[in-house]
Amino acid sequence: MRRNALSLAIAATLFAGNLLAAEPKTGGEAVITYQNDVATLDPAIGYDWQNWSMIKSLFDRLVDYKPGTTELIPSLAEQYTVSDDGTEYTFTLKKGVKFHNGRELKASDVKYSLERAVNPKTQSPGAGFFSSIQGYEDMTSGKSQTLSGVTTPDEYTVKIKLNQPNATFLHIMAINFASVVPKEAVEQWGADFGKHPVGSGAFELAEWKLGQQLVFKKNPNYFHAGVPYLDSIKFEIGQDPTVSLMRLQKGEVDIAGDGVPPAQFLQFKNNPQQKELMVIGDQLQTGYLTLKTTLPPFDKLEVRKAVNMAISKDRIVRIINGRAKPANQPLPPAMPGYDAAFKGYAYDVEGAKKLLADAGFPNGFDTELYVMNTDPQPRIAQSIQQDLAKVGIRAQIKSLAQANVIAAGSEKDKAPMVWSGGMAWIADFPDPSNFYGPILGCEGAVAGGWNWALYCNKALDAEAKRADSMAKPEQQAERIALWKKIFTDVMADAPWVPIFNEQRFTVRSARMGGDDALYVDPVHVPVNYDYIWVK
C-alpha cells in the first residue's frame, strides 16, 4: 500500500499494556478532526489512510483481526476450514447478521461483493488481491461476469477455490476490499454508493455534509455483542491541524486525525502535560534508498554494499525529529519474519571507501539521486548526498513531483538511486509476502512497477513462492523462518539501503478511554473506532 509516509499509514502494533485494561464505558460521542474531506466510503474503492478505518467500522468481512493486534479471527464467518491441499476454503456464516437496511446477510452477498471488487467496471484498486481465486482472469478479461471459484452451496456457506495454495489468503479476506455489501443498496445508489454506504458494521452513516462533517451512529443490531462503545462519532472536516491540536488541548476535540504538525512536534513531545496525550506505536513501514542493480556502477555488489555503509541513518532520523527508528533490513520490526538478530551493514566510511576501490572506483563516481519534492524529503536527500560525498560518490539531486519520481523509478536507464520518502512501502496486510513481490520480486522489476532497484533474484523468487504455498497452520513457523532467510539473503545482494521505520503518533484527549494499542492499531488506520470509549 502506498501512502504519504510521514503523514501516516497502516500502523503496526505493538504498544505496551494489556488490551482494554480498564473497564470500558458505553455511550457518548467522540469528535475527530481532519483537514481534508473523505473521498469515498465504498469498500471496493476507498484506499487511503483517512477512510480506511471508517470503512472498517461501517462494513464487515469473513475474517478480521483481534483488536489492536495482527491475529486473525473469524468475523462474519462462524468458522472456516481449509482443504488438505490448501486450495479450498469453506466459510460457515453467522446467522442473523443484518445489514444497516435490516436485511439478513447471506452467502450470496459474499459472492456478489467479491465479484464486484474484481469486476473491471468497479475500477477497484484492490482487484488484484483476489487474483488467486479461480475465475479471476476470466472476469478481468471480460470472458465471465462471475468468479467460478466462489460458490454458495446454501445460504450460510461460501466455498472459495484457489488456483494454488496461498498462505496470505485469509489476510486478503480481512482487508477492506473483501467487505460484504448488499447488492440492492449498490444498485440503488450506483456510483454514489460511496456517499451512501450500507454495510453490517459497528457504525452506520447518519449524516454527511460534504466539506463539513460526517456523523456515524452506533449500529444497535451489531452482531459483536457489547460494541461499539460510543453512541456516535462526529468527524469534523476542513480543520487546520494546528487549530485542531489547540482545540484538543481545550477539550473540544477528542482525536486530532492529522496528528501533530512537524513544526510543533518537538515542542509538543517535550511538554510533560501534552506528552500524556500522545500515543506512540510502530508502523508496518520502511523508508529506503533503491540502487538500480542493472545500471552501472550499481550492477556491482561492492558498490551497493559501499553505499549501504556510507549513510548515517541516525542523522536522517534526527532530521525528522526522531519520528522513526533506523532500519537494517526491508521488513519493519513489527512484521512477522523480522530478524532481530540481523545486524545489516554498519555505518563505516573507511570500509565503504575500500569497497569502492576494490570495485574499481578509488575516486568515486558521479550519479543521480531522485527524490519527491515535498518537505522533508529533499532535506533527507541532501543528508544522503553529503554522506555519499564523504566516500567520493558525487550525487546530483533530482527533486521532482511524486508522479515523475515513480515514473522514472522503473525505467532501466534512469533514476540510479531513488529515496522512497513520501512513497515508502507500507503493508496492505501484516504478512512478509506483501513486502517482497511488489518491491523486491521479479514481478515488480518491470516498467511501471514498484521495484525501482530492478532487482530480480529468481532463486529467491522461487523461495518466496514456496513460502506462500505453505498455507497449513502447522507450516506457519517454518514459513516465517523461510521468509526471514529470504529477506536477509536479499540484504546480501544489497539492492536497497533500508533507512528507517517510521513510528505512528496519535493524539487523543484526556477523556478518551481504551488501550493505547487501539490508537495505533495495525489494521485500523488511524484508530480502531469500534473499541475506543469516553471515560
Whole-number pLDDT of residue 480: 96
List all residues 6 or more positions away from 410 whose beta carbon is below 8 Å from its beta carbon. Answer: 446, 447, 448, 449, 450, 451, 452, 454
Whole-number pLDDT of residue 15: 33
* C-alpha distances out from residue 168 to 70, 129, 371, 424, 470, Å: 13, 10, 32, 22, 9
Task: Say how far apart CA 228 and CA 222 lie, in whole Å.
Answer: 8
Task: Say how far apart CA 97 and CA 94 lie, in whole Å.
Answer: 7
Task: Say how far apart CA 454 and CA 443 lie, in whole Å.
Answer: 10
Q: What is the pLDDT along the chain (535 residues), one digit of tens a residue?
A: 444 333 333 333 333 333 444 789 999 999 999 988 898 999 999 987 788 899 999 999 999 999 988 889 999 999 999 998 889 999 999 999 999 999 999 999 999 999 999 999 999 988 988 999 999 999 999 999 999 999 999 999 999 999 999 999 999 999 999 999 999 999 999 999 999 999 999 999 999 999 999 999 999 999 999 999 999 999 999 999 999 999 999 999 999 988 888 778 888 888 888 888 888 887 889 999 999 999 999 999 999 999 999 999 999 999 998 889 999 999 999 899 999 999 999 999 999 999 999 999 999 999 999 999 988 899 999 999 999 999 999 999 999 988 899 889 989 999 999 999 987 788 888 899 999 988 999 988 888 888 999 999 999 999 999 999 998 888 999 999 999 999 999 999 999 999 999 888 889 999 999 988 888 887 777 899 999 999 9
The H-or-E segment that residue 209 falls in is strand 203-209
Q: Are 387 and 419 in contact (CB under 8 A)?
A: no
Dihedral, 50, 229, 431, 4 alpha carbons, nearest 10 = 20
Count of residues making up the chain: 535
Whole-number pLDDT of residue 526: 80
Contacts 24+ apart (CB under 8 A), 140-143: none
Whole-number pLDDT of residue 1: 45
Q: Residue 112 — left, alpha, or beta (φ > 0 → left; ψ -120 to 50 → alpha)?
A: alpha
Task: Say how far apart CA 92 and CA 154 lie, in whole Å.
Answer: 10
Say whether 283-501 and 57-188 share the same fold. no
Q: What is the DSSP string of 449-508?
A: -S-TT----HHHHHHHHHHHT--SGGGHHHHHHHHHHHHHHHHHH--EEEEEEEEEEEEE
* C-alpha distances out from residue 483 to 327, 377, 445, Å: 17, 30, 20
Amino acid present at 55: I
Whole-number pLDDT of residue 18: 38
Secondary structure, 3-state, 418-457? EECCCCCEECCCCCHHHHCCCCCCHHHCCCCCCCCCCCCC
Whole-number pLDDT of residue 170: 95
Q: How far from the centroid of its chain's Cα atoms is residue 466's Cα? A: 24
283-501 maps to which CATH number? Answer: 3.10.105.10
Whole-number pLDDT of residue 374: 83
For residue 55, give the nearest of 71, 39, 75, 31 by alpha carbon: 39
**Domain topology for 57-188:** Dipeptide-binding Protein; domain 1 (3.90.76)
Query: Model's pTM, two decimal places?
Result: 0.83
Q: How far from the centroid of its chain's Cα atoms is residue 154's Cα? A: 35
Q: Give the start-to-end residue ranges of the domains of the chain.
A: 57-188, 283-501
Residue 468 exposed, middle or buried by CB count within 10 Å (0-12, 13-18, 19+): buried
Whole-number pLDDT of residue 447: 82
- Cell numbers that stand for 440 in this block: 523486491
For residue 388, give the nearest of 330, 321, 312, 316 by alpha carbon: 312
Whole-number pLDDT of residue 192: 96
